[in-house]
Amino acid sequence: MSTKSAASHYVEAAIWLIVVAFLFLQTFNFNQEIEIYRYGASSWPRAILLLMAVAAIGQLIFNRTRASRYEMGEIAKAMDESPEESEGTNANTGLKWYLHTALLLALPFVYINLPKLLAGTNDVGSPELNRYKLIVAAIVVVVFMLLAWRNRVGAVLTLPVLFAAMLQDLGFYALAPAFILGVMFLMGERRAGWMGSVMLGIYGILLLLFVVILYVGLPTGYVRPFYDFGTWVVTVLQ
């Protein structure tokens, strides 16, 4: 296995662990007791983050332990490839790709910090702050879509972080369908009817499990009209 390919495994694992650490720190913002769930509001997010960390480390170990088995085959394949094919093979390991991915991963942090700088306040109830959040969210989503078109792997890494960054402001109920559709699109699915059916099925199961059965208060968001939509869904289901 080439040095670049080996390095990419460590970089990928490091990116995921950094994302997990960042999101874990964010859970302290809503780490409080709730009457309907004995373990508190942050327990489920932290459990998911723990699974993400274990998966990232496990994937790294898996890649490294199996690397030697495929080394000779990869070398032989590389010798048979044309320069154009070799360039395509290394498309996700060069410096340009790392910089492009870093730019994608910076988008969630832009959304988190830029509206506060523009509004000059951290008050979640501030109309001016919420207006800037809507504007910055729209710009960030457009930039993400443009960059994702040329860097599918980087977009897959960024999408969950962007979803988590916007979750508290825009709410689970409005963002979840877009997130599910985005994941399917980045994974290569293009059948609109199938994507819509799968999204509705997954979304329905999540609402049934968390809202109806477990009665867990998922984020409704602060920014309108997303807040209005989230409260309407909760009212209908409960």
Locate the domains of the chain by residue range: 1-91
Quick: pLDDT tens for 143-160.
999 888 888 888 888 888
Q: What is the pLDDT of residue 81?
A: 46
* Cα–Cα distance measured from residue 116 to residue 132, given in angstroms and rounded to the nearest whole number: 8
Tell me which of 59 and 235 has the higher pLDDT: 235
Dig out the tokens for 56 from the structure. 């990232």
Q: What is the pLDDT of residue 22?
A: 81
Long-range CB contacts (< 8 A, 24+ apart) of 85-93? 90/4, 92/8, 92/153, 93/2, 93/4, 93/5, 93/7, 93/8
Q: What is the pLDDT of residue 82?
A: 47
Quick: pLDDT tens for 81-123.
444 444 444 455 567 777 888 888 888 888 988 888 888 877 7
3-class SS of residue 37: strand
Q: What is the pLDDT of residue 91?
A: 54
Tell me the average pLDDT of the chain: 77
Tracing tokens 């890649």 back to the chain, one arrives at 63
Q: What is the pLDDT of residue 66?
A: 65
- Contact indicator for 212, 153 with CB cutoff of 8 Å: no
* pTM tops 0.85: no
- In 3D space, the residue among 132, 180, 190 whose CA is nearest the CA of residue 160 turns out to be 180
Q: What is the pLDDT of residue 92?
A: 53
Long-range CB contacts (< 8 A, 24+ apart) of 46-54? 49/20, 49/23, 49/24, 52/16, 52/19, 52/20, 53/16, 53/17, 53/20
Dig out the tokens for 144 from the structure. 């993400």
